[in-house]
Structure 1
Amino acid sequence: MSKTPDAPFPANTTSETVRVLRRILITGASGAIGGALARRLAAPGTHLLLWGRDMARLTLIATICRAAGATVELRQIDLAEPAASLAAIAADDSAAPIDAALLVAGQGDAVPPGQIVEPAEQVARLAAVNFAGPAALAAALATRMVARGQGRILLVGSAAAFHALPHAPTYAASKAGLARFADALRLAVGPHGVIVTLVSPGFIDWANGGRPVPRALLLPLEEAARRILAAFDAGVGHAIIPRRFALLRLLDRALPGVARDALLRQFRP
């Protein structure tokens, strides 16, 4: 099983004690990307806090991670419930400080077939899961990490944030909001020893992913996980993967408005 580079996230240290285990939180760990990241981070000396909605999937991921030498705690949770999420992060970080948090959980629904506008209930849920939930968790953790003088936070956004997608307006908007929040949080907490990284992936290929897009645009799941962790390890502020989606962002900006609008109306992956 492949692993990330040695000791990518240093354990917190104080003048009084040095903790042996690195405590790493991964939200969305029952999903494809979160699970892939957990498997890559699993190693002796690492304690994984795996959050997700699907307990059966969490249990499977935990078994794999424990076999790789990690210790694991599981929490079944829905990030659309902010009070429960904030209570959980307070409990887990109070039990022992979290060294790094990978806030991966998200939802990618689009306008249902045959409809023009997303259902209002779907808009509300996507806004909560993709923006309000991870932003609130990041703020809560950043506050605690600033007090300790160190910590790392990863927010997984999307290349969709750069485009006004008529087939997925709330997904694109929620990821755009998360991107702006991540940038602002990075500026605020960087001088206090806390590193914030945003990764904006394009299309990622996984089993049962349901992504009817050209194969050339799909990034294999394990390669996406590798690149996400590489950006996090390097402490970059923002990484777009694969890089060709950065070119699409520039194209969106460069096209005349009429041409851009016509192109986006035709784009329905």
Structure 2
Amino acid sequence: MSAPRSILITGASSGLGAALARSYAAPGVKLALVGRDEDRLAATAAAVRAAGAEAVTGRFDVGEAEPLGAWILAQDAAAPFDLVIAAAGVSAGARADGEMEGRALATLQVRSNLLGTLHTIEPLLPAFARRGRGQIAVVASIAALRGLPYSPAYSASKAGIRAYGEAIRALLAPHGVAVSVIVPGFFDTPMTGRWSGPTPFLMSLDAMTRAIRRGLDRRARRITVPRLLAWGSQAADLLPASISDRIMRGFRFHIEPGR
């Protein structure tokens, strides 16, 4: 399987999306980068170009389907995508004083994480199926395996992404399109920097990016990093709910307000 030459990455202004953009940057590669922060998105594009790749940027909120979809289809028409990585996401949760996250923050996370993933991928599915090739990657979370009581909407949004990715993987396989469902644990990003609480098996951004890139290169159906943390979450889910809930309540954290 040849390396991808035309790649779409959302969430490319920081964190995992920006790191993956830099990882793929090389002469002959075209990267279509989507992000919300204009300055940080420009910095990612500059790093990509310095590595010899071509970069085009789109400043979009992935929760807004129509403008994002139109831009994505225009970029695909100009250089058909080999790989799409839906990495945009936000996080929130209960406050340090125990106050619930509330409807507005809960809705924001579902809109940005789950709907943003759908808004990125759905416009491209007919073209990918018609071409009979390509790869799609969605970024879920360990929180998708067993909901975290202090961040329920984030958990729900990531569980939805995981289920969506698993579903379209089976749907698209007969068309020759690969789908990778990425399930990362804790890694060092500005989002994690807002997390106040335990971060078991915390990885550096570089280490997480390398692990995900290895999985993408081999077109892995599931990319779970680190596996030990995932096994713990899955084991908790297999326990009786009364026991599992008590264990998860002991995993106390809160997420500082941020952008």
TM-score norm. by structure 2 comes to 0.91
Matched, 1:148 2:148: no
Matched, 1:247 2:231: yes
Contact 1:142–1:194 at 8 Å: present in 2 too?
A: no
Question: In 1, Cα distance between the equivalents of 2:171 and 2:190?
Answer: 38
Contact 2:145–2:234 at 8 Å: present in 1 too?
A: no
Question: In 2, Cα distance between the equivalents of 1:207 and 1:173?
Answer: 21
1:207 Cα deviation after fit: 5.6
Contact 1:202–1:241 at 8 Å: present in 2 too?
A: yes
Alignment of 1:46-61 (within 5 A): 46-61=29-44
What is residue 122 of structure 2 aligned with on the other side? 139
1:131 Cα deviation after fit: 0.5
What is residue 225 of structure 1 aligned with on the other side? 209
What is residue 61 of structure 2 aligned with on the other side? 78
Selected match of 2:160 from 177, 188, 197: 177
Question: In 1, Cα distance between the equivalents of 2:218 and 2:123?
Answer: 23
Contact 1:24–1:99 at 8 Å: present in 2 too?
A: yes
Number of matched residues? 252
Q: For 2:195, what is the secondary structure of its paired residue?
A: coil
Q: For 1:167, what is the secondary structure of its paired residue?
A: coil
What is residue 205 of structure 1 aligned with on the other side? 188
Contact 2:62–2:112 at 8 Å: present in 1 too?
A: yes
1:73 Cα deviation after fit: 0.5
Q: For 2:187, what is the secondary structure of its paired residue?
A: strand
Give unpaired runs (5+ residues) of structure 2.
254-259
1:120 Cα deviation after fit: 0.8
State percent identity of aligned pairs: 36
Q: For 1:200, what is the secondary structure of its paired residue?
A: strand
What is residue 45 of structure 2 aligned with on the other side? 62
Question: In 1, Cα distance between the equivalents of 2:194 and 2:115?
Answer: 26
What is residue 261 of structure 1 aligned with on the other side? 245
What code does the residue aligned with 1:126 have?
Answer: Q
Contact 1:201–1:242 at 8 Å: present in 2 too?
A: yes
What code does the residue aligned with 1:127 have?
Answer: V
Of 139-148 and 46-55, more deviation after overlay is shown by 139-148
User: After superposition, what is the alpha-carbon deviation per residue over 1:92-150, rounded to whole angstroms, capped at 9, x for unaligned?
Assistant: 21222111111100111112332443221111111111101212322221221111111
Contact 2:63–2:119 at 8 Å: present in 1 too?
A: no
Contact 1:200–1:238 at 8 Å: present in 2 too?
A: yes
